[in-house]
């Protein structure tokens, strides 16, 4: 079974405003609320591709209920831990001449709640897949991803991590099967802006020396680069299309890569499916459907 963990699920409030003006009353052209958070998005796209997973993590308050309800409508199985106080965050995605995001902090997660997650993690079995994705509420210790991976290190579990900065760096020693920084996040890890493919490949290889197995570097409209565990590299431009909502494009790419790899055991096929899924989501108002993904795969 595939398990996704989202420490900080959200309702994504996606608003389109023509020529947003700071400090003034702005009216929306359209608005939409979608369940969000990186692991949750991975679960939704996997489901769209016909692959079952269980979405885990923490939810709280009326927003938490709504996240759970909407996931059920999408047909996704979930096994969230319900926190008694606070509420799951609402992340604002403002689409205007430029795209801006405000991602909330999320509820306070206490020790007893965390223990419930550990208990679920301890039930994972050989051959399962674990996707750890997204930020953590600032009340949690920075080594929480490490603590989880430490618990499963003796089992043969395929681990995918989509996180930033130290959260990501500190788990490399557990040899995650896949990490997916975007080019800016990769640069951030090395304290510089990466200008060329060569620099990106060099930094990705540096992360391999620290333990990562496969590194998928997404570059939004520029496509992506994959550095396989063998050191072989692939680059592909993104397919062409009209961008409607790129929220969740990275998570869709992770889902596509996993789906392609699990179906074919082949990195090139995984890479193709990942790019198609990322771009199909960017070209849709919501996350990518299977039809959209298959159609874009023809172009890659």
Ligand X SMILES: O=P(O)(O)OC[C@H]1O[C@](O)(COP(=O)(O)O)[C@@H](O)[C@@H]1O
Ligand Y SMILES: Nc1ncnc2c1ncn2[C@@H]1O[C@H](COP(=O)(O)OP(=O)(O)O)[C@@H](O)[C@H]1O
Handedness of CA 158, 168, 48, 87 (dihedral sign): positive
- Closest residue by Cα to residue 3 from 148, 180, 136: 148
Q: Does 133 bind ligand Y (CB under 6 A)?
A: no
d(CA 153, CA 292): 37
- H or E element: which one contains 165? helix 165-169
Q: Does 182 bind ligand Y (CB under 6 A)?
A: yes
Instruction: Find the binding residues for ligand Y in span 5-34 (CB under 6 A).
Output: none
Q: Does 57 bind ligand X (CB under 6 A)?
A: no
d(CA 185, CA 101): 16
251 is catalytic: yes
- Closest residue by Cα to residue 93 from 43, 50, 165, 30: 30
d(CA 105, CA 231): 37
Q: CB–CB of 58/7 below 8 Å?
A: yes
Nearer to ligand Y, 61 or 223 (CB): 223
Q: Which does 48 bind (CB under 5 to 8 A by kind): ligand Y, ligand X, none?
A: none
Q: CB–CB of 151/122 below 8 Å?
A: yes
- Closest residue by Cα to residue 39 from 79, 4, 64: 4
- Among the listed residues 40, 129, 148, 282, the single contact to ligand Y using CB under 6 A: 282
Q: Which does 256 bind (CB under 5 to 8 A by kind): ligand X, ligand Y, none?
A: none
Binding mask 108-137 for ligand X (x = CB under 6 A): --------------------------xx--
Q: Does 224 bind ligand Y (CB under 6 A)?
A: yes
Report the relative pairing of strands 10-16 and 30-36 from DSSP bridges: antiparallel
Q: Which does 10 bind (CB under 5 to 8 A by kind): ligand Y, ligand X, none?
A: ligand X
Nearer to ligand Y, 34 or 219 (CB): 219
Binding mask 62-91 for ligand X (x = CB under 6 A): -----------------------------x
- Closest residue by Cα to residue 149 from 180, 118, 126: 118
Catalytic residue among 150, 251, 266, 292: 251
- Closest residue by Cα to residue 47 from 4, 9, 76: 76
Query: Which region, judged by CB under 6 A, interacts with ligand X, from 4-12, 55-63, 71-79, 123-131?
Result: 4-12
Q: Does 8 bind ligand X (CB under 6 A)?
A: yes
Q: Is 96 exposed, middle or buried (0-12, 13-18, 19+ CB in 10 A)?
A: middle
Q: Does 243 bind ligand Y (CB under 6 A)?
A: yes
Residues that bind ligand X (CB under 6 A): 8, 10, 12, 36-38, 41, 91, 103, 134-135, 247-251
Residues taking part in catalysis: 251
Residues that bind ligand Y (CB under 6 A): 182, 218-221, 223-224, 238, 243, 246, 249-250, 253, 275, 278-279, 282
């Amino acid at each position: 079974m595939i398990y996704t963990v989202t420490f900080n699920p959200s309702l994504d409030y996606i608003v389109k405003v023509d020529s947003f003006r700071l400090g003034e009353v702005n009216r929306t052209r359209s608005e939409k609320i979608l369940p969000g958070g990186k692991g949750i998005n991975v679960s939704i796209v996997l489901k769209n591709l016909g692959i079952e997973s269980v979405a885990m993590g923490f939810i709280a308050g009326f927003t938490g209920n709504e996240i759970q309800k909407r996931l059920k409508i999408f047909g996704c199985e979930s096994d969230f831990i319900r926190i008694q106080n606070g509420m799951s965050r609402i992340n604002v995605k403002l689409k205007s001449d430029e795209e801006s995001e405000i991602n909330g902090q999320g509820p306070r997660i206490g020790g007893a709640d965390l223990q419930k997650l550990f208990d679920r993690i301890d039930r994972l079995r050989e051959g399962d897949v674990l996707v750890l994705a997204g930020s953590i509420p600032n009340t949690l210790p920075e080594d929480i991803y490490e603590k989880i991976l430490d618990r499963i290190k003796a089992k043969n579990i395929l681990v995918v991590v989509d996180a930033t900065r130290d959260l990501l760096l500190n788990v490399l020693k557990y040899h995650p099967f896949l990490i997916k920084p975007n080019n800016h996040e990769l640069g951030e890890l090395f304290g510089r802006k990466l200008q060329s493919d060569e620099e990106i490949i060099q930094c990705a290889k540096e992360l391999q020396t620290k333990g990562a197995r496969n590194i998928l570097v997404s570059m939004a409209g520029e496509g992506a680069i994959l550095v396989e565990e063998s050191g072989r590299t692939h680059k592909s431009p993104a397919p062409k299309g009209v961008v409607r909502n790129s929220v969740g494009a990275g998570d869709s790419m992770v889902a596509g890569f996993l789906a392609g790899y699990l179906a074919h055991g082949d990195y090139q096929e995984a890479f193709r499916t990942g790019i198609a899924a990322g771009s199909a989501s960017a070209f849709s108002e919501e996350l990518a459907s299977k039809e959209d993904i298959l159609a874009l795969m023809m172009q890659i």
